[in-house]
Amino acid sequence: MIRFRPAIIDSLRSYRAGDFRADLAAGVTVGVVALPLAMAFGIASGVSPAQGLVTAILAGFVVSLLGGSKVQIAGPAGAFVGLLYTLGERIGAGNLLLATMLAGGLLVIAGAFRLGRIIRYVPVAIVTGFTNGIAVIIGLQQLRDFFGLPVEKMPADFFAQIEILARHAQQADAAAVSLGLLSLVILHLWPKSFRQYGPRWKEVAKQVPGTVIVLLVGVLIISSDLLEVPTIGSRFGGIPASFPYPTAPDIDWSKIREILVPAISIALLCGIESLLCARMADSLIRERHNANQELIAQGVA
């Protein structure tokens, strides 16, 4: 069995004021970037943006507190969009919640029995193909909103999505397309366009993520009534000002046998992605993470 020892314990032993200032700046940057991403991944997964935001807050806190890496947190990830959306359509939201809780238990067990080392045996080709496939699925699901198509909900099946998009292609909204194209241009040019103003301005621009600029520009355009497109408020009713109270899931017990395989899928995906990210972080800070401790933290989150 593994000895429970979060990486934060070793970090706090030699913690200095300079470390706090650097961590504060990094935390603000990550938080600003995670805000729109968490809401976007929540929507793409078939739930509300508020659920994505709450998940980012809780997961980030728990994993940073209990994890095995000194520089890694957790939150909603694009890798789960296709999987969770499909599972939610197949087994229902209540059973999906139960499958997620079971997946967390499996991750804790895997970490306790030192199974984190198996990540080194995962072929790179599988990871590359998997992540590229996820990118295609996420991109396809977002085309509805990019073109402003009047489709209430996208199906989970890949070919059914293509059929829906083709059927409604002529109903594309010019305002939504214009705002989408403007966002892509800003993301592509930021901060490259500051080269002509000298290296100092470029370095300043690097401190502000392009996603934040896109978010601010979009809010400014919509609030000025320059374009009329659906917003988070008009579609989901806005973001609540407080944490929602936990409620018992609506579980369909007739499908309880179908939950085990989805739970294993969620656990494997979470474990592989988090440990791969931790290995990448190791190469930047030249330290090694505790893979088993990281699995336990991911499971608790």
**What's the mean pLDDT in 6-25?**
79
List the domain boundaries for the chain: 7-228+257-300
Res 286 pLDDT > 70 = yes
Mean pLDDT of the chain: 79
Enumerate the H helices of the chain as residue ranges.
Answer: 7-13, 17-44, 49-66, 81-91, 93-112, 124-146, 158-167, 174-189, 199-206, 210-223, 232-236, 260-285, 291-300
Name the burial class of residue 96, with classes exposed (0-12), middle (13-18) and buried (19+) by CB atoms within 10 angstroms of its CB. buried
pLDDT, position 154: 77
* 193-249: pLDDT as tens digits: 666 666 666 666 677 777 778 888 888 988 888 888 877 777 766 666 676 666 666
* 229-245: pLDDT as tens digits: 877 777 766 666 676 66
* 45-60: pLDDT as tens digits: 667 788 888 888 888 8
Whether this model's pTM surpasses 0.85? no
- Residue 300: phi and psi, rounded to 5, are -65, -40
